[in-house]
Structure 1
C-alpha cells in the first residue's frame, strides 16, 4: 500500500492490494479442490449446489451460476462422471431435470468445508476482533457496490 499510514491510497492501489490477497487465496482454495481431482469450474458449482441444498432445476442452477444452460450441462456432466452429482426427472414436470449432489458429493463438500474452515482459521488467527468487524463492513460495502459486467467508460 502506502509508505505512510495516514496517506489515503488511491482506488487503483487498493484494488491492486486486494488482488494481492485474493489471488493467493484463490490459488489455495483451488488447491483444496485439486487434491480431490475437482477442477475449479466444477468446484464453484459444487459449492453453489451445496449452499442451495436439495435438488435444483438446471435452469435455476444456470441462472444462479451466471452461465448459459449449455455450459451448465457440461459442468454437471463432469460432476456426474466423478459421481458427485446426479440428474433426476422432476416428479411434478417430467420435461424438467433436477440436479442434486450424491452422497459422495455431499461427503466431499463436508471434507472441503472442513479444510476451508482450517484455512480461514489460519488466515484470520492473528487478526484482532475489531479488525475483523471493520473488514466485514468494508467487504459488505464492496459487495453492494460491485455489479457484474463491464465498467462504465
Structure 2
C-alpha cells in the first residue's frame, strides 16, 4: 500500500495537470490576452457584484495592493476593467468590469467548462458526483 506522502504527491501532480490543461485551452482560445492572474481578477470583480476598491480587490485575491494595481493596469489598458473615483472617499479608486471584460470572462468560463466537461466525460455520472463531493470537502475552509 502506498505511503500517505506518495498519495498526496500523486494527487497534487494530477490536480496540477488538470489545471494546466484548462489554462492551456484558454490560452489557445485567447493567446496571451488574458493570464491566469488576470482571469482571477475578472472573476473576483464579477463575483463581488459591485465595483471594488483596489485594496479590497487585493484582499479578496490574497495579494499585496501593488500587485493588484499592476494587474488592473494591464486589464485597464486592454479595456477589460475601468477605474472610477470612489464617491465616498476622494483618495480611493474603484475598479469594475467593462462590457468587454464581462464578455471575455463569460467566454473564458464557457471554454473552461467545455474543457472540464470533456475531461469528465470519461467518468460515469456517479463518479462525477463522487469527485465533485470529494473536491468540495477538500476545498472547504
TM-score, structure 1 as length reference: 0.79
Give 1 or 2: higher helix fraction.
2
Which structure 1 residue ranges, 4+ long, deviate > 6 Å from structure 2?
A: none
1:140 matched to 2:136: yes
User: Which residue matches 2:47?
Assistant: 51
Show the 5 A alignment for 1:72-151.
72-144=68-140
The residue that corresponds to 2:19 in the other structure is 26
Q: SS state of the match for residue 83, structure 1?
A: coil
SS of the residue corresponding to residue 7 of structure 2 reads: helix
Q: CA deviation at 1:95?
A: 2.1
Q: Deviations over 1:71-101 (max 9, x none)?
A: 1101100111111111111222222211111
Provide structure 2 residue ranges, at least 5 long, that are not aligned to the other structure: none
- Give SS of 1:94's match: strand
RMSD: 1.9
Q: How many angstroms apart in 1 are the aligned matches of 2:132 and 2:93? A: 38
Give distance in 1, aligned partners of 2:106 and 2:134. 29
Q: Which runs of 5+ in 1 are unaligned?
A: 1-6, 146-153
- Residues 32, 112 of structure 1: 8 Å contact kept: no
Number of residue-to-residue matches in the alignment: 138
User: What SS does the corresponding residue of 2:63 show, helix, strand or coil?
Assistant: coil
Instruction: Please report how far the alpha carbon of residue 64 of structure 1 lies from its aligned counterpart in structure 2 after TM superposition.
Output: 0.6
Which structure has the greater CA radius of gyration? 1
Maintained 8 Å contact 2:22/2:116? no
Greater length-normalized contact order (CA 8 Å, ≥ 6 residues apart)? 2
